[in-house]
Amino acid sequence: MTHTAIHISRVTKVYRTPFRRQATVALRDLNLEIAPGEVYGLLGPNGSGKSTTLKIILGLISPTRGSVTIFGRDNSVVAARREIGFLPENAYFHKFLTGAETLRFHAKLCGLSKSKTTARINELLAAVGLTDAGDARLSTYSKGMLQRIGLAQALIHDPKLLVLDEPTAGVDPAGSRDIQELIASLKNRGTTVLLSSHLLTQVQEVCDRVGILHRGRLMREGQLQSLLGIENQTELILENASPDLLDGLEQQIASTSARLIVRRKPQASLEQLFLKVTESTEE
């Protein structure tokens, strides 16, 4: 029997402050299902309930009402976390450890055998581009490097589900692109990824489905294409089209009931320009 990777059923979370009457409702009746192998993006402004959702999934906090299962197992059972890798937002780790020592510590927590650990550490340091910095203490790491080692520790036990809270926060565009590529490769290997992010372009590039949270409610959810597609418009991108051809097309459109909204040259994104410039300089 195949279980959904994450099943959230009618979860409500209310934070109560001691000695105060008022309570904060962080999540209201949240229902969410994420299929195995899917990359799901959780979007929302600050205070919308994204981090609360992730913490509930990980069993770090308990829901006031409702239930959560991970691959069919109740998430409050510690064993359910064998399948999960987690990268917290702005992750801090023990700064007195080196990158390799940090991974070794987390490997022990996950019960990895000694014989497998060293090979796995080397593999992950290479995957996140920190092979040369593996023996340096985390106190010397930049924010981007900390995020990368955070990602490596989340992957140390090769989890079936990866939960990423703002995975590219503080990472430069090149590093951010690497993380995106890593997520894509994990998806190809069948890993389920749940990520929360403010960077909508990145979410758009890597996610199969997204959900938008606002004030603790799931406002919209679905596949990107169905959410973003504008039904009554068509985009046509031509290469090496002559001005005469374009004028002809415009005239033809004008003779019908259709309306030409815009005629312009497609533009590269600032991120694409940045990557092109920095990569060519490196060469």
Partner 1 sequence: MITSLRRIRAIAGTTLIELARLRVFYVLVLFALVLIVSSTFLARISFQQELQVTKDISLGAINFFLSLLAIVATAQLLPRDIEDRVVYSVLAKPVPRFEYILGKFLGVVGLLAISLAAMSVLCLVVLHLREQSALHEVNRQIEQLAPDQLSSTVRVIHTAGVNRDLIAALVLVLAKSAILAATTLCISAFATSNIFTITAMAMVYLIGHLESIAREYWLQEHVAGWPKRTFLALVAFIFPDLQAFNLSDQVIGGVPIPAHLIEQLLGLAAFYIVSYILLATAIFYQREL
* Residues binding partner 1 (CB under 8 A): 15, 55, 58-62, 77-79, 81-82, 84-94, 96-97, 105-106, 108-111, 150, 153-154, 157, 163
Nearer to partner 1, 53 or 177 (CB): 53
Q: How many Cβ atoms are within 10 Å of 59's Cβ, its own excluded?
A: 17
Nearer to partner 1, 40 or 86 (CB): 86
- Taking the C-alpha atoms of residue 48 and residue 200, their distance in angstroms, rounded to an integer, is 15
* Residue type at position 105: F
- Residue 65 CA: distances (Å) to CA of 27, 129, 217: 10, 42, 14
Shortest approach of partner 1 to residue 282 CB, angstroms?
32
Shortest approach of partner 1 to residue 235 CB, angstroms?
42
Nearer to partner 1, 55 or 177 (CB): 55
Nearer to partner 1, 138 or 177 (CB): 138
Shortest approach of partner 1 to residue 157 CB, angstroms?
8
Reduced to 3 states (helix: H, G, I; strand: E, B; else coil), residue 260 is: coil
DSSP 147-164: HHHHHHHHHTT--SEEEE
- Taking the C-alpha atoms of residue 213 and residue 115, their distance in angstroms, rounded to an integer, is 43
What is the Rg, in whole angstroms, of the alpha carbon atoms belonging to the chain? 23
Shortest approach of partner 1 to residue 15 CB, angstroms?
8
Shortest approach of partner 1 to residue 162 CB, angstroms?
11
Nearer to partner 1, 93 or 141 (CB): 93
- Taking the C-alpha atoms of residue 266 and residue 238, their distance in angstroms, rounded to an integer, is 10
How many degrees, rounded to 5, is the angle at CA 35 between CA 42 and CA 107?
Answer: 80
